[in-house]
Amino acid sequence: GNRQLKRAMFLSAFACMNADAASRTYYDRQRARGKTHTQALLRLARQRISVLFAMLRDGTFYESRTPTVTLTA
């Protein structure tokens, strides 16, 4: 793959982790599943690429969504 693009997306994932609650939740979920810091960031970067592709495909802008928490009794 393109090493420069991979690095850019990795850094983007790292930066958004503290700015976007949904990204942080996704990262924390990956870490809870036993992924290393780097593996979790790469998964977050891959998720962001999927979102970017969908935005380009659909001609839409990014809309941040807050993660939903479901409580079980």
Whether the per-residue pLDDT at 67 is higher than 60: the answer is no
Contacts of 27 (CB under 8 A, 6+ apart): 13, 17, 40, 41, 44
When pLDDT is averaged across residues 34-47 and rounded to a whole number, the result is 95
What pLDDT score does 72 carry? Answer: 73
User: 18 is in which domain, residue-wise?
Assistant: 3-58
Domain-embedded: residue 68:
no
Domain-embedded: residue 69:
no
When pLDDT is averaged across residues 26-52 and rounded to a whole number, the result is 95
When pLDDT is averaged across residues 39-55 and rounded to a whole number, the result is 93
What pLDDT score does 14 carry? Answer: 92
Alpha-helix residue ranges (DSSP H) falling in 1-73 = 3-19, 21-32, 37-58
Contacts of 26 (CB under 8 A, 6+ apart): 43, 44, 47
The number of domains in the chain is 1
Whether the per-residue pLDDT at 32 is higher than 60: the answer is yes
HSE on the CB side for 56, CA within 13 Å?
A: 6
